[in-house]
């Protein structure tokens, strides 16, 4: 059954995946934002190119914890596989229609038909290397069960949508992407907030009374000193 949310798709890996994704994305955004400030560029083209680094960073971050990857052709992007799901981190372009326009290239379209890899002898994740040496018989049993249950169907695609500007990382959302074969639009099932920037509450106008409540203080009017009783005063 196709999962309806990232929580269902990633299973017990959900908390680890959430923390690792947020940490990786924030690190990459900070590096690009700093470079943009230093360059004093009038344009955001260089900043927008971070989408490629986000893919590489994410794949490397999960690989360090023994997760498998899948190379998505024809461009050859390498994506992490978490709980038999592809995880695709994507910076949403400012000029696009948003997530709906995700499947705008043959490579991304192929992300919806990627076949799951052969099951591993041990579960990846934190402490995966140590876990590999424990209870070998149980691992073999689990591997047999996984092989029997494995169906040659496409892996669900967990899309991590990043919205940012050179000055601020705005929000990170995720969900299970679904491609409409007729329209080419992508929907995000179980769409949920992964990370949201804090609101900027400290503003120069914070002590200004609002006109929507209370009684506004009328302005104080005083006559000009040269305006006396003399009608010819100027």
**Model pLDDT for residues 185-218, shown as the tens digit of each residue:** 999 999 999 999 986 554 444 444 444 444 555 5
Mean pLDDT highest for which of 30-34, 47-51, 156-160?
156-160
Give the pLDDT band of residue 45 (cuts 50, 70, 90): confident
Element housing 108 (H / E): helix 106-110
**Cβ-based neighbour number of residue 109 at 10 Å:** 16
Strand order in the sheet with 69-72: 69-72, 77-82, 85-91, 157-165, 168-179, 186-196
* Predicted local distance difference test score (pLDDT) of residue 202: 46
**Least confident stretch, 43-47, 99-103, 143-147:** 143-147
What span, in angstroms and rounded, lies between the C-alpha atoms of 58 and 56?
5
CB 91 within 8 A of CB 85: no
What span, in angstroms and rounded, lies between the C-alpha atoms of 180 and 177?
10
What span, in angstroms and rounded, lies between the C-alpha atoms of 119 and 122?
8
Reduced to 3 states (helix: H, G, I; strand: E, B; else coil), residue 135 is coil
**Cβ-based neighbour number of residue 234 at 10 Å:** 6
- Residue 18 above 60 pLDDT? yes
**Least confident stretch, 79-83, 129-133, 139-143:** 129-133
What span, in angstroms and rounded, lies between the C-alpha atoms of 111 and 73?
9
Mean pLDDT, residues 171-181: 95
Reduced to 3 states (helix: H, G, I; strand: E, B; else coil), residue 224 is coil
* Predicted local distance difference test score (pLDDT) of residue 188: 95
Residues 6+ apart with CB under 8 A from 175: 5, 6, 158, 159, 188, 189, 190, 191, 192
CB 107 within 8 A of CB 178: no
* Predicted local distance difference test score (pLDDT) of residue 205: 44
CB 9 within 8 A of CB 86: no
Strands (E), the chain: 69-72, 77-82, 85-91, 157-165, 168-179, 186-196
- Residue 177 above 90 pLDDT? yes
Longest dimension (CA), the chain: 110
**Least confident stretch, 4-13, 56-65, 142-151, 156-165:** 142-151
**Least confident stretch, 19-33, 48-62, 111-125, 170-184:** 111-125
**Least confident stretch, 52-56, 144-148, 172-176:** 144-148
**Cβ-based neighbour number of residue 90 at 10 Å:** 16
Give the pLDDT band of residue 225 (cuts 50, 70, 90): low
- Residue 98 above 50 pLDDT? yes
* Residues listed for the chain: 234
Q: Which residues partner with 178 through β-bridges?
A: 187
């Amino acid at each position: 059954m196709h999962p309806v949310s990232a929580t269902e798709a990633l299973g017990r890996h959900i908390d680890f995946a959430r923390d690792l994704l947020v940490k990786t994305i924030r690190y990459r955004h900070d590096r690009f934002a700093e470079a943009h400030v230093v360059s004093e560029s009038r344009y955001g083209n260089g900043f927008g190119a971070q989408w490629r680094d986000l893919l590489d960073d994410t794949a490397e971050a999960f690989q360090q914890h023994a997760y498998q990857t899948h190379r998505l052709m024809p461009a050859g992007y390498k994506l992490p596989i978490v709980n038999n799901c592809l995880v695709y981190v994507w910076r949403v372009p400012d000029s696009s229609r948003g997530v709906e326009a995700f499947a705008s290239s043959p490579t991304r379209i192929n992300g919806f038909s990627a076949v799951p890899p052969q099951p591993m002898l041990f579960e990846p994740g934190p402490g995966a290397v140590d876990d590999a040496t424990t209870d070998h018989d149980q691992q073999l049993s689990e591997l047999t069960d996984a092989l029997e249950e494995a169906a040659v169907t496409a892996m669900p695609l967990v899309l991590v949508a990043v919205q940012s500007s050179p000055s601020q990382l705005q929000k990170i959302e995720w969900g299970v992407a679904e491609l409409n074969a007729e329209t080419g639009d992508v929907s995000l099932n179980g769409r949920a907030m992964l990370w949201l920037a804090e609101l900027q509450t400290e503003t120069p106008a914070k002590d200004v009374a609002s006109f929507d409540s209370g009684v506004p203080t009328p302005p104080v009017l005083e006559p000009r000193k040269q305006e006396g009783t003399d009608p010819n005063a100027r």
